[in-house]
Amino acid sequence: MKAARMLTMGIALCGAALCSAADVAPAQKQQVAIQNFAFEPKTLTVPVGTRVVWTNRDEEPHVVTSAGAQFVSSKALDGGDSYGVTFSKAGTYTYYCSIHPMMVGTIIVK
């Protein structure tokens, strides 16, 4: 059920011109919550081409910052704001909150 819903969302995203025509497999979308000064899940493993969307559930602002600038960092996310990154290459992407650096998370793209 959940997988089917994500597939639907992936197709919808492609429809919104976020996928190039060359992409065969529909993009998937995965969520990371920012809650209580932590990324949840802390480690997320996704297939290549997945769009990861972080949503700030805290009242405090947070920033999704790539360690080593492997992907574009977010602007300040106020409570309720979201930020998405599509991971098109396999690898391990460590990220943190630049204003609360003890908040660390990892995206593993396979």
Partner 1 sequence: MMQDHDNRFDDGEAGGRRQFLKCMAWAGAGTLWMMKSGVLRAHPLGDAPVVKGSTFSFVQISDSHIGFHKAPNPDVIGTLRRSLAMINAQEVRPAFLLHTGDLTHLSKPEEFDTLNGLMQEARVGQRFYVPGEHDVIGDNGAEFFRRFGEKQHTGGWYSFDQDGVHFVGLINVLNLKAGGLGSLGADQLAWLKSDLAGLSAETPVVVFAHMPLWPLYPQWGWGTDDSGEALSYLRRFGSVTVLNGHIHQIQQKVEGSITFYTARSTAYPQPAPGDGPGPGPLQSVTAQALHRYLGIRDVRHVQTGGGLAVTDEVLA
Residue 33 touching partner 1 (CB under 8 A): no
**Phi-psi category of residue 5: left, alpha or beta, with phi > 0 → left and psi -120 to 50 → alpha:** alpha
How many residues bind partner 1 (CB under 8 A)? The answer is 23
Locus of tokens 């959940």: 2
CB of 36 to partner 1, least distance (A): 4
Provide the mask over 41-80, with x wherever binding to partner 1 is found by CB under 8 A and - wherever it is not.
Answer: -----------------xxxx-x-x-x-------xx-xx-
Q: How far apart are CA 66 and CA 79, in angstroms?
A: 20
Give me the sheet containing 91-97, strands edge to edge: 43-46, 100-109, 91-97, 64-66
Query: Can you read off the two tokens belonging to residue 43?
Result: 């480690």
Residue 96 touching partner 1 (CB under 8 A): yes
Q: For binding to partner 1 (CB under 8 A), which residues are involved?
A: 36-38, 58-61, 63, 65, 67, 75-76, 78-79, 94-96, 98-102, 104
